[in-house]
Chains A and B, each alone.
Chain A
Amino acid sequence: MERMKGREFTEWLRCRSDEQLRALVTARPELITPVPADIDGLAARASSPSALGRALDRLDRFTLCVLETLVVMRPGPADLRSLLARASYDTDGESGEPASSPASEPASGTASEPACETTSGTATGTARETTSGTVLETSLEAALEAALDRLRENALVYDRHPDADPDDGVVGVPLPAPGVAEALDPAAGLGPPAAEVFRHHPPEQIEAMLAAMSSGTRRGGNPRRNGSAPVERLTARLSDPATVARLVAEVSPQARAALDDLTWGPASGRLPNARREVTAATARTPIDQLLARGLLGATGEETVALPREVALFLRNGRLHRNLSPHPPEPAGAVRDLGLADRTAAGQAFTFTRAVEELCEWWSADPPGVLRAGGLAIRDLKRVTQTLDVPEWVAGLVVEVAHAAGLIADGDGEWLPTDAYDPWRIRSVEDQWAGLAAAWMGMDRVPGLIGERDERDRPLNALHPGLRRAGTGRVRAQVLRVLASAAPGVAPTVESVLARLAWERPRQRVARLDRIVELTLREAEHLGVTGLGALSAHGAALGAVRKPRRGAGKDRDRADERGKADKRNRGDKGDRRDGGGTAAELLAPLLPQPVDHVLLQADLTAVAPGPLTTGLQRQIALMADVESKGGATVYRFGEASIRRALDAGQSADELISALERHSATPVPQPLRYLVTDVARRHGRIRVGTASAYVRCDDPAVLDEVLADRRAALLRLRRLAPTVLASKTSRAALVDSLRAMGYSPMAESSDGDVLVTRADARRTVTPPSAFTSVAAGPEADQCDLVAAAVRAVRAGDEAHLARRHPAQAPEGEVPRSPSSTTIDALREAIREGSRVWIGYLDSQGHATSRILEPARVEGGYLTAYDETRATIHRFALSRITGITDIRS
């Protein structure tokens, strides 16, 4: 059956037009890396678990639900209308309950948590839904068609050949592609079918259940007669809604409540001693009642599951509780657009300046790179103080500067790169566009700085451990969501998450809510948003290609947004050149550089805007920054003036520079300060000398200096009776003796040193290290045990005979394939052990010896012998699989 399906799918794919295939590989680029040999190869790859996983991750909630419905409905739906009816609870037109409030109740198991509270309701959708049922259905049908087309485009469904046996579906309603069902498992939050749940139950127990099922009806209906296996009979009974209805009606209200909890998934729960023996008569607890009737079945020692048939009954035949073809609207406070833009521009300016300041500072005083990579906490604190920003902002500045390639590790120090100099001379708006683009694209999460990684090591700024794959993608998605909001709306974190959950229900990004929250916070601080609303330049930066999915709603909104959009696009329109447009939009909002300062008598200088770079450096040299922001306040002090003098400027140069750049006369106290500091500057001179020569008779020193042999001694006359030398005292004494003088050495106190041969000694070495033999301690036992276990596992792996699983045709050997699953399934069935290659969360290749337990939702649950625990393994990370036959 599966093989036939595979052939059908391949044939269908072969019949697709070139354009359709192009659309396919555009939407799923991983199918052509590397390019498969032929359509067979393409089909094989398209149905491999990893490729399917990626494709499914890109589906929005509505499309995914449609696909799930197709998977679960076997045999396939009779027509679109029945598909629709099956897909969602809410499309039930006649129901008095308004089909509105999309997703106001917890969503089904596949959607991530935040989907629970999506749109606050009233504003969106309701009006549409309250219109007459036919309009509603028509629009839904259109959405459904669109969803099916999208699935076809992605080769996630295919159409049967017109000549095929029509029993298994209708023309116009496609079938899921091979592998999709496995990849989606458990689809729509449904538990396994009864046949699977009860497979390992002892026949006696099943007979007892069958008996319990029959107890309410006539005795004679004992199905033992038809001779089929007990499991099959049980399955047949559970597939009959009437029977299930009766069983459900029998149980206590508490048991009913337990069923309701499991209905919409997850369909399994934990229960100690799940494989207990109970009968309807002995059942005491509500759970016992369910177990006795087969409404719940044990799937492990401590887990129970709701059989799919029962769940479908409880769901009233529908697969999804609420299903809206429209995404939830991002909601939040509404801001004035102009104000939001200006606020964002102010922030953009501040941020850009902070990066520049950081680079300037690190040019002169670079911090070291930690051995483990990254920036020391102490150094980050200094950034915090110097930039006068909170610590998380300091982290953001450093990380963005790094991502933009402005700073890098240069021989163990964090230094500005050679890219910094060209960046520095660009205009502020261009600088910002560069930084913002780097921020958008970076896969690092600055917000994690200061936290600890999974191995409890601190995460420092610029540390490699800050990388979280997919962060850049999430940022782009968040910006798209912001762009999709009505003009001026500052969406709340919750509404953004709800929207993301709708757009990418299967997307699994670790701590997505945290990353989204951080993204919004960072966007605000970078000036991408202002007061929470996406700014014009921020929108241009995203080069936002608006998602055109979800029927006409987006288009409506596009009209609403109208004004803002026109502004965003300007007449430049070229969305691909996002950076350039963003800079152009930002430029008029930025403070213009000024080339003068206001000097005041309280020894301050105010730069009423950003200074031109040259002037800024000059002022920064002679005054200390007192306050920053739109303007900069500098204070002149003795120390700062001295700094300028130390840098080689003279008092006159300083004053004339001030006169040149001041819009007002130079105040007298400032002039006085400069000359006063200059007066004292350098009055005392300090140098190094290693020895001196003094003589009360200057003539003798004249003589020494004149001697040609003295040139090597590098003597310098400090005073008439004193010479300083760079040579050592002993060498000087010897040389002078050689020149015919009879010098005497002086101690540092001026005493005459008497030379005599001293008995020589050396330094006492540190006492020999005495090692204490440490006895085995209790906590070492665990360690020893683990070591032994690892040795055993490694040993086994080494001895194991390896049967490389067959690679599918045209498949890269390393990528996981459907055969991996087959091999795993087989191992589960046989209860045998396998040896797998696995990439851990750090991306390291490891090997494990496993006893597989089950495969679902793209994950393998197995007992890991190497670590002696039960683990879940992502199928996509399994690089290879081998049987172990011991």
Chain B
Amino acid sequence: MTGMAGPLIVQSDKTLLLEVDHELADECRKAIAPFAELERAPEHVHTYRVTPLALWNARAAGHDAEQVVDALITYSRYPVPHAMLVDVAETMARYGRLRLEKHPAWGLVLATSDRAVLEEVLRSKKVRPLLGERFSADAVAVHPSERGNIKQLLLKLGWPAEDLAGYVDGEHHPIELREEGWSLRPYQKEAADAFWNGGSGVVVLPCGAGKTIVGAAAMAHARATTLILVTNTVSAHQWKQELIRRTSLTEDEIGEYTGAKKEIRPVTIATYQVMTTRRQGTYRHLELFDARDWGLIVYDEVHLLPAPIFRMTADLQARRRVGLTATLVREDGREGDVFSLIGPKRYDAPWKEMENQGWIAPAECVEVRVTLSDEERLAYAMTEADERYRFCATTPSKLRVAEALVRRHADEQVLVIGQYIDQLDELGEHLDAPVIKGETRVRERERLFQAFRDKEIPVLVVSKVANFSIDLPEAAVAIQVSGTFGSRQEEAQRLGRVLRPKADGGGARFYSIVSRDTVDQDFAAHRQRFLAEQGYAYHIIDADDVGEEKQAK
């Protein structure tokens, strides 16, 4: 940096501001991406945050503190606060002081290069029971089944262990990608390679960017029997079809382990729901994990991983694991568990960049504000606090706006998404469109989805069952009438439904209908934050303007 002002501004709260229009912005982004989480990516200034997890992610990926400090100093426009540099060095130095290793005589061991650290963690009442004999001053035996738990605990103590104990290869099974009529996109290949080189970890890609294919590529790397955990049955079917289409696997090689079927095959797809079903206090399907010598475990939508799966995963630390997700944001704040149990983040690409490269459809987000009628306002004011959201989210005024929007996009494939079944049923009636909800049978769901894909049905009303992993490439418009309170990731997932690139290369529209001056509006603001931070600017219009805008168009 010779006299030129850098693109980066380091803040005292450990956020980094990157001015995107700066000529060095790209270079700088590449330099800081390994150790800083992209937190917000609006149009002019992107915000990255340097967290301990991010720094340890960087360490896991082979970056050292000097590189981090160097990147900060090189690109920073103003002097970097000394405290920040010291903190970076200290935090990064904590990773890898403790290592999980294989020892010829003692099996799995916790070894250290810094005896004081080992002493410190050994004094922890929680850690001690997980460990066996301290056979040397610098190493303690670890029971193999505690590999995950100890990693979780050490992360909480601020001394994340580097897991060098390696993986079992698992049962060999030939899996090849069949790139016929399609090919692996560059970022998909990078993501799969980054995962494979790192051993285990999480790949973060926007909805619609083809995470399933990254999973398939990872399987092709592993060439071993694979257990795939997905959110629901429909998603399980889609994974199966996608794998048949993209890889050398045949239908016979892929089993489904769901509520309806219990097949165990070289590649088995199970739902979180089945895995977490308990009868008489015990998990009934735990044997699945031991049913075969799995060489790879794929976690779809890792941000939704339920707590019992975390516990089960703790026992699977010797197997390679790959997590797939669109966002590492967890509403429950368990990002640390994802880091310690699934693995560090191995790949990440900003949404807007993917959009610029054409891998996902450009989308326009619109918030439509509905004004409650006077009677509705009165009724709202009298509603009990815990019923308020439901009341304002399902207000009849929304029906009219939803209808107007559907009319306006009459020649496009429209998804109407909502939370409350009554509201959806009513909408289905008004719009004369089929409704897919929890009670809709799987076969019926798939028939409707297929009909939608084939453009036989222009409008589909769906409940939250369609939040995830439903592949509907032709959906160009989504209208959200209600949601799960302020869930940021739900909003992102729903937008993801319309982000698959369109056959005609057109853009997508995402409408969120919100009641003005109610808690609905507050929740909406919260929901939108993630997307706004990813660079999706919400345009706000009044319900009355819906018709006018059409004329203008």
- Establish whether residues B80 and A668, one from each chain, have CB atoms under 8 Å apart when the complex forms: no
In the complex, the chain B residue whose C-beta lies closest to that of A592 is B5
> In whole Å, how far is A424's beta carbon from the nearest beta carbon of chain B?
21
Across-interface contacts of B13 in A (CB, < 8 A): 388, 627-629
- Establish whether residues B78 and A633, one from each chain, have CB atoms under 8 Å apart when the complex forms: no
- Establish whether residues B17 and A633, one from each chain, have CB atoms under 8 Å apart when the complex forms: yes
Q: Give the number of residue pairs across the A-B interface with Cβ within 8 Å.
A: 105
3 nearest A-B pairs in the assembled complex, by CB-CB distance: A346-B79, A601-B537, A629-B11
- Establish whether residues A600 and B82, one from each chain, have CB atoms under 8 Å apart when the complex forms: no
Cross-interface CB contact of A600 among B12, B44, B517, cutoff 8 Å: B44
- Does B42 reach chain A (CB closer than 8 Å)? yes
| Docked CA distance A603–B533 (Å) | 10
Can you list 24 contacts pairing A with B, beta carbon distance less than 8 Å? A346-B80, A346-B82, A349-B78, A388-B13, A600-B43, A600-B44, A601-B538, A602-B40, A602-B537, A606-B17, A606-B44, A608-B9, A608-B77, A609-B9, A628-B12, A629-B11, A629-B12, A630-B9, A630-B10, A664-B44, A667-B43, A668-B537, A668-B540, A669-B540
- Does A531 reach chain B (CB closer than 8 Å)? yes
> In whole Å, how far is B389's beta carbon from the nearest beta carbon of chain A?
18
List B residues at the A interface (Cβ < 8 Å).
9-13, 15, 17, 19, 40, 42-45, 47, 73, 76-82, 517, 529, 532-533, 537-540
Q: A339-B73, A608-B19 are in contact. Are A629 and B10 (CB under 8 A)?
A: yes
- Does A347 reach chain B (CB closer than 8 Å)? yes
Across-interface contacts of B10 in A (CB, < 8 A): 629-630
- Does A631 reach chain B (CB closer than 8 Å)? yes
In the complex, the chain A residue whose C-beta lies closest to that of B12 is A629
Q: A600-B43, A602-B532, A606-B17 are in contact. Are A591 and B11 (CB under 8 A)?
A: no
- Establish whether residues B532 and A668, one from each chain, have CB atoms under 8 Å apart when the complex forms: no
Across-interface contacts of B73 in A (CB, < 8 A): 339
- Establish whether residues A627 and B539, one from each chain, have CB atoms under 8 Å apart when the complex forms: no
Cross-interface CB contact of A343 among B79, B517, B529, cutoff 8 Å: B79
- Does A680 reach chain B (CB closer than 8 Å)? yes
Across-interface contacts of A463 in B (CB, < 8 A): none
- Establish whether residues A347 and B82, one from each chain, have CB atoms under 8 Å apart when the complex forms: yes
Across-interface contacts of B77 in A (CB, < 8 A): 591, 608-609, 630
> In whole Å, how far is B470's beta carbon from the nearest beta carbon of chain A?
28
New A-B contacts (18) at CB < 8 Å, excluding given A598-B44, A631-B17 = A345-B79, A346-B81, A347-B81, A347-B82, A600-B42, A600-B44, A601-B538, A602-B529, A602-B532, A602-B537, A604-B40, A604-B42, A627-B11, A627-B15, A633-B11, A664-B44, A667-B43, A668-B540
In the complex, the chain A residue whose C-beta lies closest to that of B541 is A672
Q: A343-B80, A608-B19, A633-B17 are in contact. Are A350 and B533 (CB under 8 A)?
A: no
Q: 8 Å CB contacts to B: which residues of A625-648?
A: 627-631, 633
In the complex, the chain A residue whose C-beta lies closest to that of B367 is A669
Most chain B C-beta atoms within 10 Å of own C-beta, residue among A524, A530, A602, A604: A602
Encode A345-370 as 1/0 by CB contact (under 8 A) with B. Answer: 11101100000000000000000000
In the complex, the chain B residue whose C-beta lies closest to that of A390 is B83
In the complex, the chain B residue whose C-beta lies closest to that of A589 is B79
> In whole Å, how far is B71's beta carbon from the nearest beta carbon of chain A?
14
Cross-interface CB contact of A669 among B19, B80, B537, cutoff 8 Å: B537
Across-interface contacts of A608 in B (CB, < 8 A): 9, 17, 19, 45, 77
Interface size on A, residues (CB 8 A): 36
Cross-interface CB contact of B12 among A350, A604, A672, cutoff 8 Å: A350
In the complex, the chain A residue whose C-beta lies closest to that of B538 is A669
In the complex, the chain B residue whose C-beta lies closest to that of A671 is B540
- Does A342 reach chain B (CB closer than 8 Å)? yes
Encode A610-635 as 1/0 by CB contact (under 8 A) with B. Answer: 00000000000000000111110100
- Establish whether residues A530 and B82, one from each chain, have CB atoms under 8 Å apart when the complex forms: yes
| Docked CA distance A684–B271 (Å) | 53
In the complex, the chain B residue whose C-beta lies closest to that of A389 is B12
> In whole Å, how far is B538's beta carbon from the nearest beta carbon of chain A?
6
In the complex, the chain B residue whose C-beta lies closest to that of A529 is B82
Across-interface contacts of B517 in A (CB, < 8 A): 680
In the complex, the chain B residue whose C-beta lies closest to that of A346 is B79
Most chain A C-beta atoms within 10 Å of own C-beta, residue among B9, B79, B537: B79
| Docked CA distance A609–B10 (Å) | 11
- Establish whether residues B11 and A631, one from each chain, have CB atoms under 8 Å apart when the complex forms: yes
| Docked CA distance A343–B43 (Å) | 30
| Docked CA distance A668–B532 (Å) | 13
| Docked CA distance A339–B40 (Å) | 30
| Docked CA distance A598–B17 (Å) | 12
| Docked CA distance A680–B517 (Å) | 9
| Docked CA distance A236–B42 (Å) | 93
| Docked CA distance A343–B42 (Å) | 29
Cross-interface CB contact of B9 among A343, A344, A350, A631, cutoff 8 Å: A631
Across-interface contacts of B79 in A (CB, < 8 A): 342-347, 349, 530, 589, 630
Q: 8 Å CB contacts to B: which residues of A176-202?
A: none
Encode A321-344 as 1/0 by CB contact (under 8 A) with B. Answer: 000000000000000000100111
Across-interface contacts of B12 in A (CB, < 8 A): 350, 388, 627-629
| Docked CA distance A347–B539 (Å) | 40
| Docked CA distance A657–B311 (Å) | 55
Across-interface contacts of A628 in B (CB, < 8 A): 11-13
Cross-interface CB contact of B43 among A339, A601, A629, cutoff 8 Å: A601
Most chain A C-beta atoms within 10 Å of own C-beta, residue among B12, B13, B533: B12
> In whole Å, how far is B47's beta carbon from the nearest beta carbon of chain A?
7
| Docked CA distance A95–B10 (Å) | 59
| Docked CA distance A630–B14 (Å) | 11
Cross-interface CB contact of B82 among A343, A609, A664, A672, cutoff 8 Å: A343
Cross-interface CB contact of A602 among B9, B19, B42, B82, cutoff 8 Å: B42
In the complex, the chain A residue whose C-beta lies closest to that of B517 is A680
- Establish whether residues A598 and B45, one from each chain, have CB atoms under 8 Å apart when the complex forms: yes
Cross-interface CB contact of B45 among A524, A600, A630, A680, cutoff 8 Å: A600
Across-interface contacts of A603 in B (CB, < 8 A): 532
In the complex, the chain A residue whose C-beta lies closest to that of B8 is A630
- Establish whether residues A630 and B539, one from each chain, have CB atoms under 8 Å apart when the complex forms: no
Cross-interface CB contact of B532 among A342, A349, A524, A601, cutoff 8 Å: A601
| Docked CA distance A604–B44 (Å) | 10
Q: 8 Å CB contacts to B: which residues of A667-693?
A: 667-669, 672, 680
> In whole Å, how far is B543's beta carbon from the nearest beta carbon of chain A?
13
> In whole Å, how far is A195's beta carbon from the nearest beta carbon of chain B?
55
Cross-interface CB contact of A633 among B19, B43, B47, B529, cutoff 8 Å: B47
Encode A561-594 as 1/0 by CB contact (under 8 A) with B. Answer: 0000000000000000000000000000101000
- Establish whether residues B44 and A531, one from each chain, have CB atoms under 8 Å apart when the complex forms: no
| Docked CA distance A745–B9 (Å) | 67
> In whole Å, how far is A666's beta carbon from the nearest beta carbon of chain B?
12
> In whole Å, how far is B11's beta carbon from the nearest beta carbon of chain A?
3
| Docked CA distance A458–B12 (Å) | 30
> In whole Å, how far is B162's beta carbon from the nearest beta carbon of chain A?
28
In the complex, the chain A residue whose C-beta lies closest to that of B77 is A630
| Docked CA distance A42–B307 (Å) | 86
| Docked CA distance A26–B9 (Å) | 51
| Docked CA distance A598–B18 (Å) | 12
| Docked CA distance A343–B9 (Å) | 14
Across-interface contacts of B45 in A (CB, < 8 A): 598, 600, 604, 606, 608
Q: 8 Å CB contacts to B: which residues of A192-216?
A: none
Across-interface contacts of A604 in B (CB, < 8 A): 40, 42, 45
In the complex, the chain A residue whose C-beta lies closest to that of B15 is A627
In the complex, the chain B residue whose C-beta lies closest to that of A630 is B78
Encode A517-531 as 1/0 by CB contact (under 8 A) with B. Answer: 000000010000011
> In whole Å, how far is A585's beta carbon from the nearest beta carbon of chain B?
14
- Establish whether residues A667 and B537, one from each chain, have CB atoms under 8 Å apart when the complex forms: yes
Across-interface contacts of A343 in B (CB, < 8 A): 79-82
Across-interface contacts of B47 in A (CB, < 8 A): 627, 633
> In whole Å, how far is A591's beta carbon from the nearest beta carbon of chain B?
5
Across-interface contacts of A347 in B (CB, < 8 A): 79, 81-82
Q: 8 Å CB contacts to B: which residues of A109-157?
A: none
In the complex, the chain A residue whose C-beta lies closest to that of B45 is A606
Q: A388-B12, A669-B538, A669-B539 are in contact. Are A601 and B42 (CB under 8 A)?
A: yes
